Structure 1
Amino acid sequence: AFEKAIEIGCEMMEFDVRLTKDHIIVSYHDECSDEGHKICDLTFQELNSKAQIKGFQVPTLEAILKMSQNRIFLDIELKETGYEKAIVDLVLKYFSYDEFVMKSFLDVSMIKIRKIDPMIRTGLILGMKNVQFGVLSRLSEVLPVLRILRALPAFISPYYKLVLPGPLRKLQFLNLPLLVWTVNDKKTIQKLLESGVTAVITDRPDIGLKVMKKLKRLGRI
């Protein structure tokens, strides 16, 4: 999937990182494997062996960095806190500051990244999937000013449904770029791009690229 994204001409590649039991940083979205084991409780070999049974391999962060170096911009999502320094050191071994960003739902993680290296551009992820049942939690997603003032992100990465109705438009005075997620239908991608968002994260880059090329050709973005 990573190689394919580069081959078809994607401008940016977004992926999640987690830490295995033996301290290998890997790209893995879910907290647990399909069998229900937490990634942090499995060694890399154990995790990859389970994946291979299902016909795929789990890439390490370093493998991704090596294959994508000088080829594509990276949007790296930290799923957990506690090993930010290891991620920063590894990424900067292969990528310069203007070739990647880091983001997370976890404000504390982005605050740590900024303390480790203020040159790294960090972002806060906002989305209903991360909202707890409390009223204050919901408000922190729709009107995240306090989170922004605390973490001082370089950009915001909201769930697209938070952007379309308009509440996050009130944050435009902060001049923060919006990297919205995850949109897979043509009409919504077009609507978001025309509304002025910075980037649209999608599982269908083929559709996204077609829409972007069309809008550029028409001079609408």
Structure 2
Amino acid sequence: MEGLKECEANLVVYLHPSKAKCAGDAILSELSSLLFTYNETFEGVVLAYDPNICSNLAKILPGIQPYFGVKLKARLLLFNPKPDMVVEGEVVKITPQSIHAVVLGFSSAFIADEDIRHDFKHKIKRGKEVYVSRTHKKHKIKVGTTLRFIVKSFDEEILHISGSLVADHTGCARWLDKNLDEWSQADSTIKKRKSGEGEHEKPRSDRLMVQREILSLENDGQVKKAKKKKKNIVES
């Protein structure tokens, strides 16, 4: 899934002197406070960490309460979805106007009706709401489905994703993986058809110019005929 990345960070954790005897636990507690929040320094939501304390030596900071700083390195797993990235989430709610999902267990995702391609039709089966593909009847989206969609925007404060299912490579992840050749071939055919139509169809401005040239030629021909007829009459 896109939007995930690893990074190595050099950190300094500041601890109260009362935690000197259990500095390791205190460091883990401080790092845990970073989890599932967007961090501007790392440019992403911290999902996991793997700390490595560089030294047993700590630097005491002067002040009213002499905190001490512990240097360490940590490998961080970050999540920062950008527009046009493909991510996956579990569907938790379906309505005729929207699909709601949860990504990685913490970030909510919302796909509005205008961002769901027309191939999907909303239905109620056995009292449950689902979206079923008109082209491929077995391609269904229901509660519990792992949904693959494209990111439109990401709200860093509330960790909310706005998504889209317009592209053909979006939908039920399980069905897409099983029928890769089928939907990719259909997508390729549609693209070729669109490009072919674009090549054969002249732009509107070109068509107008052609029509004007035809009218001009016709008018010139009529004028020449009229002059020739007039000349014959004069001679006779």
Higher share in helix? 1
Fold shared, TM-score > 0.5 on shorter chain: no
TM-score range, shorter chain: under 0.3
Structure ranking higher in strand proportion: 2
Q: Of the two structures, which has the highest relative contact order with CA contacts closer than 8 Å and spacing of 6 or more?
A: 2
TM-score (norm 1): 0.22
